[in-house]
Amino acid sequence: MGLPYWNFHTGTLCDSDTHLEISVDVASTSGAPSSSSSPSSSALTQYSRYSTQLRAGRVAITSLLNTSDGKGGRSYDGVEIVVGGWVKTGREQGKGSFAFLELNDGSCATNLQCLLDKPIAEAAGKQLSEAAKTGACVVLRGYVVALPEQAKQSVEVKTTELLHLGPCDASKYPIAKAKLGLEFLRGVSHLRPRTNVIAAVSRIRSACSFATHDFFARENGMLYVHTPLITSSDCEGAGEMFAVTTLLKQMEDMSPSSGEGDAKAAADAAAHVQSLRDAASKQGEAVRDLKAKVKSGGASPEEVKAAVDKLLATKKELEGAEAGTKSSVCPVVPGNVDYSQDFFAKPAFLTVSGQLQAEIYACALGSVYTFGPTFRAENSNTSRHLAEFWMVEPEVAFADLDDDMRLAEAYVKHCLRHVMETCADDMVFLTNFVDKTCIDRVNNCLNEPFGRCSYTEAVDILKEHAGGGKVTFDDMDIHWGMDLGSEHERYLCEKVFNKPVIVYNYPKEMKAFYMRLNDDDKTVAAMDVLVPGVGELIGGSQREERIEVLDRRLEELKLDPEMYRWYLDLRRYGTVTHSGFGLGLERLILFITGLENIRDVIPFPRWPSHCDK
């Protein structure tokens, strides 16, 4: 009998020699105890569907270590398997006669220990020392060996054949060190997924993405709509959009010519700006590190203040340098460009939101959602802003603001519950090494109903607490009509409500034109979901369904009605009450993981002067 593998076409476990179906459990054929509590063989061989070149198929490490019977793979004692992954650490022992390899394939946070003897490596034409180097990629066949209960791991693999070795020069490997700063890892984004933190974040991000489709499509029967990335509409009306054009050569020709001296000066100025940006980023990291050390007595408040002063000085110098750079560039304004010669024959941009297009389908198909990348051309270098990020945007017909708030809360809790169920080991890792409160924070969000208060009530609470000396904000000018800052939002959910809170009915002046005007003619039916550690997580509203009110709002905000004629048609022909919201996926992951910089929770972050890979 050959080795077992999973046949994708028949959905059965088969023998690798005969390719016939195996009707008995793999545990019983290997001599392991057969019982109803043993993990299924199909779960253990989940990768074999697409690894038939390895005959037995490659086993996911998570399916071996995280078994449903709670025995951590001990039920597979004696089973021959194939595993592959990258060496986290390797230890040669017995005077170089064998090595222990800590192998990780990305399927879970836990490494699998594999024992590789020198003769096995040499039989494959490889050196044992090469296989034991950090970063090497190894595929091997071996037997599962159950370890004593007191051992750190439940099982290890005794190698019988080395199938593949992708060597790695550890002396040149950029991430060979055990501890590396997240800022450093942003500079090696092609390798940072191999680190424990980024790998954990990636699995959690994937789980949230799956949970999004599961919640909206499977649980609530909503249709997934692909909204365009290129658009002529500005959903937010802020004008901070990336232009899409094929007229770059024409724009260059319209710019004033410059000599070599001017070009060199411009290049030097740009390099200076970039160096200041890097310095500000590093100093920001230093401030955060010092603040963390203050709690443990590793740094003094005076050191923190000195670091903050240095950061502010660097930022001030950066602002001046950026202003000087901008003033030396000849802007190309719309009046200078003949858009009739452009690809779309009109100004076109990368989308800032798929909401308006999603409304088209919601007003025909009832309930829809869109989930994809969006873009903002904000010249911001903060730890909370990206130029490209992913938005989850449901639009629900026959729904008012209260429905919208209940949907938002249910969706967030569904994502958190799915993460806790499927990424438990990642959450434990992050609690141990990133943020000791992250599991408690997520559980608190799951176990408590979200708080609710109106914008007016929120301002009154902040004024009372600030006036009474309970808190000091950087912005103490608290008044009705102000745009709540992150510090105000976090204070409400972290100190006042001690849980996520939904603030609703905002002043109309601070919200977009499409939000429904309330009867007081001062506020709109808008809501923001605020969560601890982040602040605003979700922004949503009941959409304005009355065409005459929408016309008036467009006029008040000086927006061209002709650009939104199609949007007005949705109200002109069969208008309906409908609501929706937008959630930035990266902010949800910040909340879950406890990481502080949004650039660490997206695979390839984009921000000013940074567009790598």
| φ, ψ at 93 (rounded to 5°) | -140, 175
Query: Using one digit for the tens of pLDDT, what is the confidence trace for 300-318?
Result: 878 878 888 888 888 888 8
How is residue 569 written in tokens?
């048609």
| Confidence at 155, pLDDT banded by 50, 70, 90 | very high
Strand, coil or helix: 233 = coil
Ranges of each domain in the chain? 4-166, 196-240+352-600, 272-327
Query: How large is the average pLDDT for residues 92-99?
Result: 94
Residue 305's pLDDT is what?
83
Give the H/E segment covering residue 322: helix 301-327
Q: How confident is the model at residue 32 (pLDDT cuts 50, 70, 90)?
A: very low
Element housing 143 (H / E): strand 137-146
Q: Which residues contact 42 (CB under 8 A, 6 or more apart)?
A: 6, 13
**Residue 563: exposure state from Cβ atoms within 10 A (0-12, 13-18, ≥19):** middle
Cβ neighbours of residue 136 closer than 8 Å, sequence gap 6 or more: 86, 87, 90, 130, 165, 166, 167, 168
pLDDT at 47: 52
283 within 8 A of 314, measured Cβ to Cβ: yes
- Contact, 529 vs 489, CB < 8 A? no
Least confident of 86-100, 233-247, 261-275: 261-275
In DSSP notation, 345-357 reads: SS-EEE-S-SHHH
Residue 386: which pLDDT band, with cuts at 50, 70 and 90?
Answer: very high
State the alpha helices, DSSP H only, in 399-528. 401-422, 424-433, 438-447, 455-467, 486-491
Right CATH for 4-166 from 2.40.50.140, 3.40.1260.10, 1.10.760.10, 3.40.190.10: 2.40.50.140
Name which of 107-121, 242-256, 377-391 the model is least confident about.
242-256
523, 521, 464, 425: which is closest to 112 by C-alpha? 425
CB 90 within 8 Å of CB 133:
yes
User: What's the pLDDT at 27?
Assistant: 36
**What is the architecture of the domain spanning 196-240+352-600?**
2-Layer Sandwich (3.30)
Give the Cα separation of 235 and 232 in Å (integer): 10
DSSP assigned state of 332 = -
Q: What pLDDT shows up at residue 42?
A: 47
Tokens of 405: 């708030």
Which single residue is written with the structure tokens 């450093």?
184
Residue 330 in this model has a pLDDT that exceeds 60: no
Amino acid 127: pLDDT: 95
Judge whether residue 6 has pLDDT over 60: no
Q: Going by DSSP bridges, is the β-strand pair 367-375/112-117 parallel, antiparallel, or unpaired?
A: unpaired
Task: State the pLDDT at residue 299.
Answer: 81
Q: 102: which 2 tokens?
A: 């800590």
Is the pLDDT at 527 greater than 90, yes or no? yes
Segment 336-352, tens digit of pLDDT: 677 888 889 888 999 99
With 70 as the cut, is the pLDDT of residue 554 above it? Answer: yes
Q: Would you say 87 and 152 are in contact if contact means Cβ atoms under 8 Å apart?
A: no
pLDDT of residue 36: 39
SS3 call for 492: helix
Mean pLDDT of the region 177-194? 90
401-417: pLDDT as tens digits: 999 999 999 999 999 99
How far apart are alpha carbons 607 and 605 in whole angstroms?
A: 7
Count the alpha carbons within 13 Å of 325 in the hemisphere toward its beta carbon. Answer: 17
Confidence at residue 51, expressed as pLDDT on a 0 to 100 scale:
52
pLDDT at 490: 95
**Whole-number mean pLDDT of the chain?**
86
Give residue-wise pLDDT tens across range 33-85.
Answer: 333 344 444 445 445 455 544 445 788 999 898 887 778 888 889 999 999 99
Residue 285 has pLDDT above 90, yes or no: no
List, for residues 197-252, the tens digit of each pLDDT value. Answer: 999 999 999 999 999 999 999 999 999 999 999 998 777 655 589 999 888 866 66
pLDDT for the residue numbered 30: 37
Q: How confident is the model at residue 266 (pLDDT cuts 50, 70, 90)?
A: low
Dihedral, CA of residue 365, residue 368, residue 373 and residue 376, to nearest 10: 80
Query: Can you tell me the mean pLDDT for 440-456?
Result: 96
Residue 141 has a CB neighbour count (10 Å cut-off) of 21
The beta strand positions in 190-319, using DSSP E, are: 223-224, 230-231, 243-244
Nearest Cα to Cα of residue 225 among 363, 411, 398: 363
Note the CATH number of domain 272-327. 1.10.287
What length does the chain have? 613
Tokens read off for 210: 């799956």
Q: Are residues 606 and 396 in contact, defined by beta-carbon separation less than 8 angstroms?
A: no
The predicted pLDDT at position 325 comes to 59
Nearest to 115 by CA among 79, 156, 148, 81: 156
